[in-house]
Chains A and B, each alone.
Chain A
C-alpha cells in the first residue's frame, strides 16, 4: 500500500475488506507521515479537500513537443560539457596572452629606456620579478588547481565564479607565503640572537649559536646547530640536532620526529611517536634540508590522507547523507565554504592550546595523535559530499561508485600538490574539507 491509498482509507472512502485493513495497518507501521496524519484530526479535512489535481490544458503536450530541441538529451549533455571545456580553454588562452604581452612589454621597455632613470627603475622591477618567478609559478599553479576543484563542485562554472575562487585561492596562498617569509625573518633573528629563551608559533627555528634558556616551537621545526642550555621542545614539528649540537636540558617532540644522539643531550629525549608526523613542516619550514623533500611532504599529508580514506568509508556507510550534502554544494557553494572555513578556524583555535597542554607531559604526548584524529572527524562526511559532487562532474552519475571516484580524485590532487608544495596540498585539503563540512551542516539544517 502507498500513501495515496492510505489517504483514501483515512477519509473512509471505499469498502474496507479485512485484508485491506491489514494492509493499511502494515503501511502505518512503516510510514511516519501517515501515522502523523492519523493522529491529527485536521489532516482528515486536508486530505478530503486535496483529492483533485489541477490539470494542464489539453494542448499542453502538443505545445511542448513543438518547443523541444531537435538534439537528443545525450547530444545536449555532450554539447554543454564541450561548452564548459571551451570556456576554460578561453580563460587559459587569455591568461597566456596576458602574460606574454606583459613579458614582451617589459623586455621592450627595458631596451627602450636603457641608461635612463626609467630604465633603471624597470631593471629593478624586472630583477625583483625574476626572483619572484619561482614562487609565483608555484602560487599560480596551486591557485589554478584549487580553482578547478572549487568549480568542479559548483553547478555551472562561470568566469565570475572562476575569478572569485582564483582570488580566494591566491589570497590564501599569499597568506601562506607571508608565513614563510615570517619564518625566514624569525630564522635570521634566531641565528644571531643571544636571548635567554626563544619560542615561536608556526615558525621554524634554527639555532646556530649559544642560547641560555629554552627553545620551543608550536607547529614549527627546530634545528639546533649550536648550544642550548635549557630544553628544546616542539609540538607538531621535528627536532634535529646537528652533529656538533649540545642540549643541556630535555629534547621533546610532540607528534614529530627527533634526530639526535643520546650523548648530545644531557636530559631525556622524548617523542610521542616517530612515525605519525602529521604536522611536520606544514608551513614550508626552512629546516627542510634535513629531511628529503618528498618524504617530508608525504608525512605532512599523512593526516589528510587518513581523513580522505575515512571519507571513502563514509560514502559506503552513509550514501543518503552524502548525496543530500552533495546536493547543497552546487546551490550554496559560498555559504558552505564560509561556514566550513569559519568552523575550521574555530577548530584550530580550540585545538592548538589543548595540543600545547598535552605536549607538556609524556602521557599527554601519546594522546596528541588521538586528539588530531578527533579534530579531523567532522570533515570526513564533508569530504564524502565533495567527492559525490566531483564524482557527478567526472562520471555524470550520482552513485556510490561515482562518489568514490570523486574521493579518489581529491586524494590524487592533494598528494600531487603536496609533493610539489606541502602547503598547497594541505591548503587544498582543508579548503575541500571545510567546503564539505559546511555543505553537510547546511544539508542537515543544523544551521539556520
Chain B
C-alpha cells in the first residue's frame, strides 16, 4: 500500500480514538516536529516539552484536520504556531535571549557524526539561532526541512513573496553573523567549489 493511503488510514483510526494509529503518526513525524521545536527554542529539554505539547494539540484537533491538506503541512503549522507562542511568552517573562542562544549548541543531540563537518554545522546552527524568530522559522523550514515556498506559505500563513524576501534577508544576515564569528573562510571555499 502507498505511504499516502497508509497515513490517511492511520489518521482515520486515530480520529476514532485508536492510540496505536496515532503512535504511528507520531513516529513518522516526531523528527521534523522535534527538530523544528529545537531550532526555534534552542534548548533540548524545552524542545522535547514543546514537541509533546504539539502532538497533544494535534491529537485534540485531529477531528478538524482537512484531508485536502498535506498532513505534514498541517502538523508543522501547529508546531510553528506553538513555538512562536512559546517565544512570545518567553519574551514576556524577560528571559535573556542571548543567554539561551549561547547555552545551546554544544549539546546538540542530532546524530552529528563526521568530526570534520561538526564545527561547520555548529557554526551555522549557532548563526541560525541568532536570527529573528520569523526569519529563523522560515530558514529552518527551507534548509533543515527542505520545504518549497508554497509549503512554507501554507505553514506560516505568509505570502510567497514575503517568504522569498525574508529568506533572502535571512541568508544575508547569516553571512554577516558567520563572518563576525570568523567562520566564513570555509564558506568562501564552498563558493569556489560551486
Q: A-side interface residues toward B, CB under 8 Å?
A: 2-4, 6-7, 31-34, 36, 40-50, 52-57, 60-61, 63-65, 67-77, 324, 327-328, 392, 396-399, 443-445
Contacts and interface: CB of A to CB of B under 8 A. Distances in A.
Contact of B194 (A4, A44, A61, A327): A44
Given A33-B148, A60-B48, A77-B64, A48 B30 contact: no
Interface in B163-191: 164, 167-168, 171, 174-175, 186-187, 190-191
Q: Is the interface of A mostly helix, strand, loop or mixed?
A: helix
A3 B147 contact: yes
Give the residue among B17, B38, B69, B121 with the most A Cβ atoms within 10 A.
B17
Contacts of B66: 397-399
Contact of A73 (B51, B63, B125, B149): B63
A445 B153 CA distance: 12
A203 B64 CA distance: 49
Contacts of A69: 59-60
Which 4 A-B residue pairs are closest in the complex by CB-CB distance? A72-B17, A73-B62, A77-B63, A56-B34
B38 A54 contact: yes
Contact of A53 (B31, B44, B60, B160): B31
Contacts, number: 168
Interface string B44-79: 100110011001100111111010110000000000
A33 B171 CA distance: 13
Contacts of A73: 14-15, 17, 59-63
A33 B174 CA distance: 17
A397 B109 CA distance: 38
B175 A74 contact: no
B30 A56 contact: yes
A324 B38 CA distance: 27
Nearest to B16: A72
A47 B17 CA distance: 39
Interface of B is mostly: helix
Contact of B167 (A36, A71, A72, A324): A36
B27 interface: yes
B171 A42 contact: yes
A63 B146 contact: no
Interface string B99-123: 0000000001111100001001101
A324 B56 contact: no
B159 A46 contact: no
Given A36-B164, A54-B39, A54-B110, A75 B17 contact: yes
B86 interface: no
B182 to A, nearest CB: 15
Interface of B: 14-19, 22-23, 26-27, 30-32, 34-35, 38-39, 44, 47-48, 51-52, 55-56, 59-64, 66, 68-69, 108-112, 117, 120-121, 123-125, 142-149, 152, 157-160, 162, 164, 167-168, 171, 174-175, 186-187, 190-191, 193-194
A396 B64 contact: yes
A56 B51 contact: yes
Given A45-B190, A55-B111, 7 more contacts: A33-B142, A44-B190, A50-B124, A54-B34, A54-B109, A60-B34, A61-B23
Contact of A74 (B15, B112, B160, B167): B15
A40 B32 contact: no
Contacts of A397: 64, 66
Contacts of B175: 42
Nearest to A3: B146
Contacts of A445: 158-159, 162
B52 A64 contact: yes
Which residue of A40, A42, A45 has the most chain B CB atoms within 10 A of its CB atom?
A: A45
Nearest to B26: A61
Nearest to B108: A54
A47 B190 CA distance: 11
Contacts of B34: 53-56, 60
A443 B162 CA distance: 11
B172 to A, nearest CB: 8
A414 to B, nearest CB: 27
A36 B148 CA distance: 11
Contact of B27 (A49, A61, A76, A399): A61
B63 A396 contact: yes
B143 A52 contact: no
Given A61-B30, A77-B63, A397-B66, A50 B17 contact: no
B148 A49 contact: no
Contacts of A57: 48, 109
